Structure 1
Amino acid sequence: MFLAFQFQSPGPIIFEVGSLALRWYGLLIASAVLIGVSLSQYLAKRRGVNPELVGDLIIWLVIAAIPSARIYYVLFEWQQYSQHPEDILAIWRGGIAIHGAIIGGTIATIIFSRINKVSVWQLLDLVAPSLILGQAIGRWGNFFNSEAFGRPTDVPWKLFIPPANRPLGYLNYDYFHPTFLYESIWNLGVFFLLLSLFFWGLTNSDRLKVGTLTFVYMIAYSVGRFWIEALRTDSLMFGPLRIAQIVSLIAISMGTVGLIWLYVFKRSLPDIVKSYQ
């Protein structure tokens, strides 16, 4: 007999002291960053890259990614924020977009690589496993905030959403697809795939070419995001199109072209330096 259950957020706040509050969303993001730093530095050691260099890069990524993720989200939800501009900086309430963070982080990595004269693809490969693991952790922030959920459903693993968090048109529905959970599980699978490829590349005589992990990340994450996005009720939109699905298709195409370039045409990627470390 199949045991049914439901998810229900205990609320976004862990505890409050006066006007100060510790929120799950912030705690999860901070935890993801700390775990990501440790993991990327460990992978850097295994690849013979200075781990302190990766630690410095992570600082750049945090500084660039979080504001970029917020700006990206606000731009596509400008109709809402134009009426309440005081909420633009209220990032602790949620409302950041991972694609914005990736764009900002990539730009920061390119600048960092140019300044330090190191391979941008090497650095992206070292960050990719940490990034997807951070995404798996961060998705639980959506759970605690009762946001980023899917369409109404009655599946055994349904998610209860409080009436105040339900979008217009769904006020009479109690249970929704826990898309945060779907994406978190998918991202964990991508994480283990990237780690497996990384360590296979260390031991196999035909080592993975630099840039491979980055392109596999782009394809694997985007495939999952594309179909999960179709379930959501709160997608960022550009007219009738879901922005995340458009970006996912672009990322899948770019990743596929990158792998073909590396393994079919057997060409090196354009880079900041001529030779990889």
Structure 2
Amino acid sequence: MTTQILANIPSPPQGVWYIGPVPIRAYALCIITGIIVAMALTIRRYRARGGNPDTVWDASIVAIPAGIIGGRAYHVITDYDSYFGPGKDWKQIFNFSAGGLGIMGAVALGTLAVWALFKYKRIPLLPFADAVAPGIILAQAIGRLGNYFNQELYGRPTDVPWALDIYYRVDETGAYAPLTGRSTGEIIASVHPTFLYEMIWNIAVFFFLLWAEKKFRLGHGRVFVLYIASYALGRIFMEFMRDDAANLIFGLRVNLVVSTVLFIVAAIVFSRMKSGQETPEEVDPRSGDAEEELDAHKHKMP
């Protein structure tokens, strides 16, 4: 008598559901959930540092669309062969729902947008960056579940017990549809679940940032820079495990090169940044002005 133990991780049978003609995409739901979690955490952390919670909402108005555009632009630039050339439909670069958002581009353009807003409002950026950093990495962990539903960004074929089974998906006509179709049950390949590896790494970085911030009283942007260095370090190892097509620089995957450069730069910057944490007045200088105006108004009251 034999017993067979199914150890491999099965992929979801589909990543898109329909309510009438309206598609409900797991990838989008994961991204939205990550944004909501990051917002809630940042509001709490920024308030604790002495910042105005309304500033977080203002920042989200510019950061979210800029992040989506930046993430898509980075993906298209680093994977341009999928959108340009013979037989390619360049208009697919606007098909955000099909997946393909590069977190490095999202953070870069999102940060630039928030920097411009804070410069206009004359609010220090670094305290806010420290407040938002743990939320970003936690949102990334949640967003990786979207890659799981899309059956994308997986690693090389493997026979480890926790291998991810990739299913063959078809649409209603029977045509191959890896993103929008439904599984036939046929296993195409068993691969390393790099989405899971990165999700676990991101969650570990989240708790590491909270610990390091409290242990070493990090401030003045050091939490954010530590987030960049920690994420880039993990991404370096993930890129070595990836087996999907990618453009190369010096014979190496683009994301591997970018991650390595980011890690080195972030590590150097972190070592040279100011130690200690900001006072509430340094976090939001306008808060003191608001209190003075309120006191002055009270004195004028009969």
Normalising by the residue count of structure 2, what TM-score does the alignment of the two structures yield?
0.79
Aligned counterparts of 2:242 and 2:31: Cα–Cα separation in 1: 22
The question of 1:251 aligning with 2:254 is answered no
Native 8 Å contact 1:16 1:22 kept in 2:
yes
User: Runs ≥4 in structure 1, deviation > 6 angstroms?
Assistant: none
SS of equivalent residue, structure 1 residue 74: helix
Native 8 Å contact 2:27 2:149 kept in 1:
yes
Q: Among 66, 69, 80, which residue is 1:67 paired with?
A: 69
In the other structure, the counterpart of 2:14 is 11
In the other structure, the counterpart of 2:55 is 53
In the other structure, the counterpart of 2:210 is 195
In the other structure, the counterpart of 1:260 is 271
In the other structure, the counterpart of 1:169 is none
Structure 1, 63-72 or 179-188: larger mean CA deviation:
63-72
Native 8 Å contact 1:219 1:255 kept in 2:
yes
Cα pair distance change 1:236/1:116, threshold 3 Å: farther
Native 8 Å contact 2:13 2:167 kept in 1:
no
Normalising by the residue count of structure 1, what TM-score does the alignment of the two structures yield?
0.86
In the other structure, the counterpart of 2:163 is 158
Q: Summarize the alignment of residues 1-277 of structure 1 with structure 2, pairs less than 5 Å apart.
A: 4-13=7-16, 15-82=17-84, 83-163=88-168, 174-200=189-215, 207-234=217-244, 236-239=246-249, 240-262=251-273, 276-277=283-284
CA shift, 1:275, in A, is 5.1
Aligned counterparts of 1:18 and 1:275: Cα–Cα separation in 2: 52
In the other structure, the counterpart of 2:297 is none
Native 8 Å contact 1:139 1:184 kept in 2:
yes
For 2:151, the aligned partner's letter is S
Native 8 Å contact 2:51 2:283 kept in 1:
no
Gaps of 5+ in 2: 169-175, 179-186, 285-302
Instruction: Work out which of the two has the higher radius of gyration on C-alpha atoms and give 1 or 2.
Output: 2
| 1:105-154 alpha-carbon deviations (Å, 9 max, x no partner) | 12112112211111221111111111000000000100000000000001
Cα pair distance change 1:151/1:50, threshold 3 Å: same
Aligned counterparts of 1:54 and 1:126: Cα–Cα separation in 2: 10
Aligned counterparts of 1:128 and 1:267: Cα–Cα separation in 2: 17
Cα pair distance change 1:127/1:96, threshold 3 Å: same
CA shift, 1:162, in A, is 2.4
For 1:105, the aligned partner's letter is G
The alignment covers a number of residue pairs equal to 259
Native 8 Å contact 1:229 1:235 kept in 2:
no
CA shift, 1:223, in A, is 0.8
CA shift, 1:200, in A, is 4.0
Gaps of 5+ in 1: 166-171, 202-206, 269-273
